[in-house]
Amino acid sequence: MSRNLKVGISIGDINGIGLEVIIKTLSDSEIYKYCTPIVYGHTKVASFHRKAAGINEFVFQVINDAESAQAGKPNMINCWEEDVKIDLGVSNETGGKYALLSLQRATDDLVSRKIDALITAPINKHNIQSEDFKFPGHTEYIQERANGKDSLMFLISEDLKVGVVTGHVPVKDIVKGVTKEAIVSKLKLMNESLKKDFWVEKPKIAVLGLNPHAGDNGLLGSEELEIISPAIEEAFNEGILAFGPFPADGFFGNQSYAKFDAILAMYHDQGLIPFKAASFNRGINFTAGLDVVRTSPDHGTGYDIAGKNMASPTSFREALFLALHIVRQRREQEELMSNPLLFSKMSKDRD
């Protein structure tokens, strides 16, 4: 664990702010004390963004593969040969095409363990769709590529950790995805991640209701009584400290989340709106429940500010450091588990 970890970075939509926040993050020399970054894209595209944002004296070291990455430098793997027309702030087929080429090459190296973690810059979920990408987002794509049975979209900040049962699905389909089995599965993933990735010994998890006022005893919907409460009970009986269901508005409004280690929301906006309101530009999207580590900033492509030197690198930088933290936490735990005497001693010390 003493060596610098190799961190892969996909560039996202080339017409957005991805490369701007990447370059701003890697311009900080402190980064190289902790990792060796490898960006999957093309130096010409990166140079265009660097100049558009007015960033001077930054150069990528071109390498052919992750094994050739040089410590102490920002490395770039050119994922295509042709020149690319960049239209800053525009969503088009070109942006999606090259975002996918970057993501595919980076994910290849992630699942083959040539890199230790992957940080993904924002894609446009519409223009990236193709024969090779038929997914609602990064989370589902990474899950399939990593051969995961399930995964959890887990939003992380200093003050909040929020996961969702249903992720990138239309509102009209949310109820179909809120099943007892899905809730129990997400609770297990969240509980395990809190223990393994964040070293929370006995996580306390709050579960939100689906309907207004958590159904109000069946008056405003029966899902809480028939699905969510039984799922919580089953998880609790399996040793997971899950509580609820709580009405979402009051739960966030009175800051009840401070009493819990994490929150499981039923759908995307129920969890992400309060999370981003509290943690925007500092939050991180982590794909929990997989053998590989992938994080991303909690913002989108930022077309409206692309090329204007206005994009904050804070969330991207936090995503990079969280990925490093999780990799090291997992490896240290593996080392401890392989040494029963040391693990027993540490457990007694905690008690």
Share of the chain above pLDDT 90, in %: 85
Whether residue 145 contacts residue 118, with contact meaning beta carbons closer than 8 Å, is answered with no
For residues 42 and 252, give the distance between their C-alpha atoms in angstroms, rounded to a whole number. Answer: 43
Q: What is the 3-state secondary structure (H, E, C) of 244-280?
A: EEECHHHHHHCCHHHHCCEEEEEEHHHHHHHHHHHHC
pLDDT of 184-229, one tens digit each? 999 999 999 999 999 999 999 999 999 999 888 888 899 999 999 9
pLDDT of 134-153, one tens digit each? 999 999 999 999 999 999 99
Tokens 């990735």 — which residue?
Answer: 197
Mean pLDDT, the chain, as a whole number?
93
Two structure tokens written together for 94: 């070109």
Residue 1's pLDDT is 42
pLDDT of 249-259, one tens digit each? 999 999 999 99
Residue 301's pLDDT is 97
Two structure tokens written together for 207: 């579960």
Residues 6+ apart with CB under 8 A from 184: 231, 234, 235
Two structure tokens written together for 236: 């609790």
Q: What is the mean pLDDT of residues 315-324?
A: 96
Domains and CATH numbers, the chain: 1-148+291-299 (3.40.718.10), 150-289 (3.40.718.10)
Residue 271's pLDDT is 94
Residue 123's pLDDT is 97
Which of the pair, 158 or 320, is modelled with greater confidence?
Answer: 320
Residue 288 pLDDT > 70: yes
For residues 137 and 140, give the distance between their C-alpha atoms in angstroms, rounded to a whole number. Answer: 6
pLDDT of 33-44, one tens digit each? 999 999 999 999
Label residue 4 by pLDDT band (50, 70, 90).
confident
Whether residue 263 contacts residue 186, with contact meaning beta carbons closer than 8 Å, is answered with no
Rounded CA Rg of the chain: 21
Question: Strand pairing partners for 154?
Answer: 163, 286
Residue 348 pLDDT > 60: no
Residue 110's pLDDT is 98
Residue 343 pLDDT > 70: no
Side-chain half-sphere of 163: how many Cα atoms within 13 Å?
30
Residue 168 pLDDT > 90: no
